[in-house]
Amino acid sequence: MALQEAPVAEPEVRGFGHWFHENQHWCLTIDRPPPKGLDAWFYKNFETDKIPQVEDKHKYFSCLFTPFENKALRTGITGLYGCTALVILSKNGVLIAHLQQSVMNTKKSSEFQDLAIDELKKEILANQLNKPHDSGLQVVIYTYVTGGNNDKISLSHGPTVQSLMDELPKLIPGLSQNRIQVYPYRSSKHRLEAHEFSKGKLIVSYNPEAGRGISGCEVWAGSVFGSRRELTSNEITTPIMHYCWKKPQWKDQKPAEKEHGITTREITDTAVEQPQQTCQHPIVTASEVNEYRQQGSRKRDLIRFERFSKEIGRRHFVFLVDDSESMHEHSSQVADTAQALMWIIERLDVDGIDLRFASDPDNSHRSLNFVSRVLAKMSMSPNSKGGESGRLANMIRQIPNSAPKMACSLQAAFDAIISEQRVFKKSRQVCIIVFRKGVWRAEVDNRNSRREPVDDLFNTHKPCIDFSFRFVNFEDDSSKTPETVLIEGYLWNMGRGQ
């Protein structure tokens, strides 16, 4: 189980807007604190506006469910200085629970977990959060952490957190553990008694009119632990969770006809009809992704990232880079592009991304596998700048310093890779991404030379092979060359294309 560190800074935004990952526009109307105004914003909400909050009755379990209706609202929780808070965000409302093991007359965490899970189950059933209608339902576990700086970091209630992660997917159909985020915090009781501080508090802010037919909510934390220390209130500039969806049509409203060029109709849980567009998603460049990564932001905050991850699914990625002399001038651009792609897809490859060079395709350079990445993150061990994607990208940047290679046969390298038994494990999906200048250089220029390795691949692994390949061209702007069209067409004709 990996802790999710909150970013210290978010990408530059316009005004107080926020770029939701589920849509293609700025949402400017979600209530959120101004820069460096977290303490004052929390004080206003809890002390001046008296927003609804979970009552702290010194019980081992207390909670509050707030339904989402056709009006903006805020709700929250205070009194967090060593316990665990649970936030379940759905399209129908938000459930906030307060779990306090210290108030029980038992030291057995298992007894507390059983009672807390039983109470939580009752609340989930009572508020119909167990219905499989909310495919994007999100969960935040906000829990106390000890250690930091040079000390080992550990969760005060690790068994309880693990129990929640194990039981919640059983209680809520369709909920997977990758939509359960764990955020550590630290705060002291004397700070909580001073109302001008945001420490030990959570606020959920919701607006049904976030923009262009989108409803959205955010979870803001007054205490966040990141970069091996507790962040100051001025450093907390992003919510620990945001969730948005197409706005429902409330019963007291008439269906809208047209809004910003998007045709809308009465919505239940069906999709909104939209006019066909030339580009389904906004274009994002590799430099923009790398800038986003360098600012400490999270992958899941990227536009459509969660949907992209779900559609792509788990698979093994092989990056084949043309390192011939003619590609040396593009090595920096190739490295930047490869690093952006690696950073986005690294969690989809549980075995670790495989980097190959056309001059030596049998030599595999691997990133850390899934288990190694989790252990590295849990121990907060320092890593090379940019993580594993940075390490592999630096190998690409060193291409001009290597011995000059007049030309490399990408055809031969491609054939060598798909002929490797270890690349194609049983039932594992594989995608080969080729970085090249647009020159294929087949040893024998005929169609059979390009079909034979593909035939051998399918004959060897038949019938359990799922194989795709992509080309990233530099200097040559053509997205389809005769070679790629030939291979792609052949795969489709064989019923194996992707």
Question: What is the per-residue pLDDT for 379?
Answer: 40
Question: What is the per-residue pLDDT for 480?
Answer: 46
Q: What amino acid occupies position 15?
A: G
Burial of 196 (C-beta count, 10 Å sphere; 0-12/13-18/19+): exposed
Dihedral of alpha carbons 124, 79, 199, 108, sign: negative
Query: Under DSSP, is residue 284 helix (H, G, I), strand (E, B) or coil?
Result: coil
d(CA 461, CA 457) in angstroms, rounded, equals 6
User: What is the span of the domain harbouring residue 172?
Assistant: 18-263
- Same structural domain for residues 85 and 228? yes
Residue 31 is assigned to a structural domain of this protein:
yes
Residue 275 is assigned to a structural domain of this protein:
no
- Same structural domain for residues 72 and 198? yes
- Same structural domain for residues 244 and 347? no
> CA-based diameter of the chain, in Å?
79
Report which DSSP code applies to 193. Answer: T
d(CA 482, CA 451) in angstroms, rounded, equals 14
Question: What is the per-residue pLDDT for 402?
Answer: 67
Answer whether 0.75 is exceeded by the pTM. no
- Token readout for 61 is 């379990």
> What is the tally of structural domains in the chain?
2
Report which DSSP code applies to 48. Answer: I
- Same structural domain for residues 327 and 387? yes
Q: Give 10-residue mean pLDDT values along the chain (498 residues).
A: 39 34 45 84 86 77 89 88 89 90 64 85 88 76 76 76 87 81 75 69 88 80 76 84 70 40 26 32 69 71 68 83 82 87 81 85 70 41 50 78 64 76 70 76 46 60 64 63 47 43
Question: What is the per-residue pLDDT for 425?
Answer: 67
Residue 201 is assigned to a structural domain of this protein:
yes
- Same structural domain for residues 145 and 217? yes
Strand order in the sheet with 241-246: 73-77, 202-211, 214-221, 241-246
Question: What is the per-residue pLDDT for 423?
Answer: 74
- Same structural domain for residues 257 and 325? no
Q: What amino acid occupies position 370?
A: F
d(CA 498, CA 56) in angstroms, rounded, equals 55
